[in-house]
């Protein structure tokens, strides 16, 4: 079966390509973390699911706070917007997840130090596809001026200054 050899090689290449692309399920951009003088801060960013499988953001990690959580915003029975911790945040196949002020966000609780303009923050994100493929991203961003925020920060919790 001489003629099967190129085919086998071709299939091996396909397999290799699949494995290689599986390491990157999503792309992450526009990471924003604003100055914070309190004990909490939030991170905002845009995630694009590059795969044809549903992908979940399963974990956010950072060394800047005691806890780093995924939060969603929901309107309660009194019509008040409240944030709640979410186990995961889902991104549809080829869909986009936008974390933004007044919307879903990554929350830092118990900041070790206040976040000042220009501080470098490292953020680790873990994504998992519905078929169990994992994709970890290690991101670094610079703390921005609160004045750059187009809307009120989700961390203000209704305390307007």
Q: Kindly tell me which of 89 and 107 has the beta carbon lying closer to Cu ion.
A: 107
Shortest distance in whole angstroms from residue 123 CB to Cu ion: 15
Of 54, 51, 43, residue with least CA distance to 27: 51
Name the residue with tokens 């929901």: 74
Distance of closest approach, residue 78 Cβ to Cu ion, in angstroms: 19
Residue with smaller CB distance to Cu ion, 28 or 83: 83
Q: Read off the DSSP letter of residue 119.
A: -
Binding site for Cu ion (CB under 5 A): 71, 83, 107
The CB-of-157 to Cu ion minimum distance in angstroms stands at: 8
**Rounded distance between C-alpha atoms, residue 161 and residue 156, angstroms:** 9
Nearer to Cu ion, 97 or 107 (CB): 107
Closest approach, Cβ 53 to Cu ion, in A, equals 28
d(CA 95, CA 114): 34
Distance CA 137, CA 156 (A): 28
Q: Which is nearer to Cu ion, 67 or 112 (CB)?
A: 67
Q: Taking phi first (over 0 means left), then psi (-120 to 50 degrees means alpha), and beta for anything else, what does residue 158 get?
A: left
């Amino acid at each position: 079966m001489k003629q099967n050899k190129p085919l086998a090689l071709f299939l091996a290449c396909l397999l290799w390509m699949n494995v290689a692309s599986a390491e990157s399920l999503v792309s992450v951009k526009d990471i924003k973390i604003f100055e914070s003088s309190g004990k909490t801060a939030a991170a905002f960013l845009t995630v694009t699911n590059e795969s044809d499988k549903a992908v979940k953001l399963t974990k956010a990690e950072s060394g800047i706070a005691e806890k780093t959580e995924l939060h969603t915003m929901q309107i309660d029975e009194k019509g008040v917007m409240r944030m709640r911790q979410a186990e995961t945040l889902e991104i549809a196949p080829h869909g986009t997840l936008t974390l933004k002020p007044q919307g879903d966000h990554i929350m830092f609780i118990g900041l070790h130090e206040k976040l000042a303009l220009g501080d470098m923050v490292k953020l680790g994100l873990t994504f998992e596809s519905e078929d169990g493929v994992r994709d970890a991203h290690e991101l670094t961003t610079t703390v921005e001026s609160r004045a750059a925020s187009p809307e009120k920060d989700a961390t203000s919790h209704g305390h307007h200054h």
